[in-house]
Structure 1
């Protein structure tokens, strides 16, 4: 089973886009749209203090009739934030995300944000690992090992 560090290293884009808690929700939406991401870690003085996602926007802005222009990210972000370190394995991350109904999981080392995992990243890795296991079993059955 791969570690978070190995998965982050293999990701096509390792850049993590963030936003500050005092920036406006409209700014967060613009960043998410331009960068084609569904969530942003909210960072204050180098520390991850929350995550703001499209889900937060839909549930805490639109449904409550708030304005994106005058509402700070801190008003709708999910907090406290659940994080993992880079030595966690993928199964542990999947369990955390499933139990807590999370779609994004910040990776923090020594208090600093080093990556962001999505549920899609974890599912893709699980499928790849299963495909590799199936291939190995098929080779074993055919006596090719």
Structure 2
């Protein structure tokens, strides 16, 4: 959790992404809840600067609260966070289209957003299929003699 809060996640997700997921979690549990996350321990009333510090406090059992995962809804929060990451991993940054898989997104990015260049004539193609047809039409096929 701290790597998301401190913008150190290698996936590119940051504290803004985490705040969005937390807000969605909060409103799913209680539609009237305040979008500002309460970072106070419900047992000992100690307030923390970040969610990761509060979770660490509870995990190390520095207070007497038991079953804190259930009390905080942590499993549900992590499930929502994973869903948000999955959706973000399958969304095109250019056209904002959501795809069924990361492979489909990769194909879309390669097919729609990459220029393909013919190494022979330096002609640029936006459509990889047209590039492929161009390469096939320009490649001489030499018949080999069978001995």
Name the one with the larger helix percent: 2
**Which has the greater radius of gyration?**
2
TM-score (norm 2): 0.32
Q: Which has the higher contact order (CA 8 A, sep 6+)?
A: 1
TM-score (norm 1): 0.32
